[in-house]
Amino acid sequence: MHDAELVKAFLAAIPYAQKLGVTAALGDDGRVTCTMPFNDNHIGNKQLPALHGGSLASFLEITAILELARQRAAIQQVDSVEAAHSAVPLPVNVTVQYLRSAGALPCTAEATVLKIGRRTSTVFAQVWQDDAAKPVTSMTGVFIQPKA
Amino acid sequence: MSDNELIFPDLPGIDITPVHQGSRSPMGANIGMNYLGVGDKRICTGLKWDAALVGNAETGVLHGGVVTALIDETAGGATVLATGHKVSVATIDLRVDYMRPAEPHKNLYCTAYIYRLTERVAFFNAEAFHDDPTKPIAVGTGTFMLGANATVPDILGSPFKEPNNA
């Protein structure tokens, strides 16, 4: 499978990503770029308004999982939708930093896999809105592969 | 009453009064979070298992992001409570450790406690669990900024409503 098909298969395996409206595409460098449209349901503070920390953390975790799954798929030879469903990485822990208030705008996120290990992998991800140089939230997560 | 009705969990050794109130934040409502109990600088919440909140269609287990969102919302509620509903709050950072795999088709509960409150920052710890609070699915820790903006906190209704079936 091509990376684009793979990422599509992994995204389809995550119902919560569909609920949040997350879409994924491959950037010029081949890495996953995710988008999450603005939705009233993602708000935490109605008066500002500002997106909820939980929607941003969820979006980052999905982005990190997709990029890690894409990179691991080459190693594991994930070659079908069924195989993709069985290879969605599992989080061990995530650390999230809220850098700026996120307004009523669409979000874009990218992830960098810092290390793919035999047992665990570490991924850094960040999300921005209108200015890629001003991330609103960042996350570092440790993930393991599901048991075969 | 459906099989997955939310119940007030048994929390031995913790002084907490049952309440019954839906989330006031859109994202809290989006994931189906309800306030179930209120104590001293402590909140208990829960959400029903829902197919749309699942992280892997093959396993039926809730997504880690749902757990993180529940912990964030619960800890935010505890922060507002601890500050006497006076100031707005915003998450500074949080860490969530997934202690054991979540089980499919099970409701998720969360308790959050503010263990240190300063003029500008609240420090929390939180635990998310299914049936047994001594076997958490995830534990979270983090900080909230107090008076982050000029808005009035609307995370909790004040005063809390008594449980409907009390």
Chain center to CA of A60? 4
- Which chain A residues contact residue B53 at CB under 8 A? 15-16, 19
Domains and CATH numbers, chain A: 3-144 (3.10.129.10)
Q: Mean pLDDT in chain B?
A: 89
Beta strand B138-146 with B121-129 is: antiparallel
The number of beta carbons lying within 10 Å of the beta carbon of residue B165 is 6
Nearest CA of chain B to the CA of A29: how many Å? 27
pLDDT score recorded for residue B99: 95
Q: Phi-psi region for residue A85, left (φ > 0), alpha (ψ -120 to 50) or beta? A: alpha
Q: Which one-letter DSSP state was computed for residue A146?
A: P
Of B25, B52, B93, the CB nearest to A96: B93
Nearest CA of chain A to the CA of B128: how many Å? 14
* Residue A71: closest CA among A146, A27, A121: A121
Structure tokens at A46: 């109605």
* Residue A10: closest CA among A76, A119, A77, A86: A86
pLDDT at B166 over 90: no
Mutating which of B98, B110, B144, B155 best tests the A interface, going by the most A Cβ atoms within 10 A? B98
Residue B164: pLDDT band (50, 70, 90) is very low
Of B62, B66, B151, the CB nearest to A48: B151
Q: What is the ipTM of this complex?
A: 0.95
Domains and CATH numbers, chain B: 16-146 (3.10.129.10)
Residues in chain B: 166
Per-residue pLDDT of B83-140, as tens digits, reads: 987 788 999 999 999 999 889 999 999 999 999 999 999 999 999 999 999 999 999 9
Distance CA B118, CA B126 (A): 18
Nearest CA in chain B to A137: B93
Per-residue pLDDT of A37-96, as tens digits, reads: 999 999 999 999 999 999 999 999 999 999 999 999 877 778 888 888 888 999 999 999
Helix (H) or strand (E) holding A71: helix A53-76
Structure tokens at A62: 């999905």
